[in-house]
Amino acid sequence: FQGEKNLTTMKKYETELSHEEFSSNVITIKKARHYACTDILVAFQGTRLGRLLFGAQDPEFNSYDGLITNSELFHAWVLKAFTGNEQPFFEAINKRKEFLFHGITLKSKQD
């Protein structure tokens, strides 16, 4: 859902993490309906209007799960940034890793 220009700008701020499994500080929640998980999606979850606007919820990872994951990742990132302790951040990533993408992938330019 991100445009090429925005991804190119974001790529400038991407850094490597000191972890063998997670190589990028950029994390995206798979199947996210919006770049910011909010309670609006949770409020519509399971309603007729929600299904009409957003389609069926993923039974394995719904809007509430996205909101909780986003909150856990943000909290762990703040701890990492302010205390230098990376462990909570890696634990938060690992907890939901099957629902996350790592890094920025730019489209290759075709000649």
- The answer to whether 103 and 32 have CB atoms below 8 angstroms apart is no
Q: Which comes out higher in pLDDT, residue 76 or 104?
A: 76
Please give the Cα distance from 3 to 29 (Å, whole number): 16
Q: Is the pLDDT of residue 95 over 60?
A: yes
How does residue 111 score in pLDDT terms, banded at 50, 70 and 90?
very low
* Angle, helices 87-95/63-83, rounded to nearest 10 degrees: 170
Please give the Cα distance from 35 to 46 (Å, whole number): 20
Give 65's contacts (C-beta < 8 A, 6+ positions apart): 96, 99
Q: Is the pLDDT of residue 110 over 60?
A: no
Q: 10-65: per-residue pLDDT in tens?
A: 788 777 777 777 777 777 777 766 655 666 666 777 778 777 877 777 788 887 88
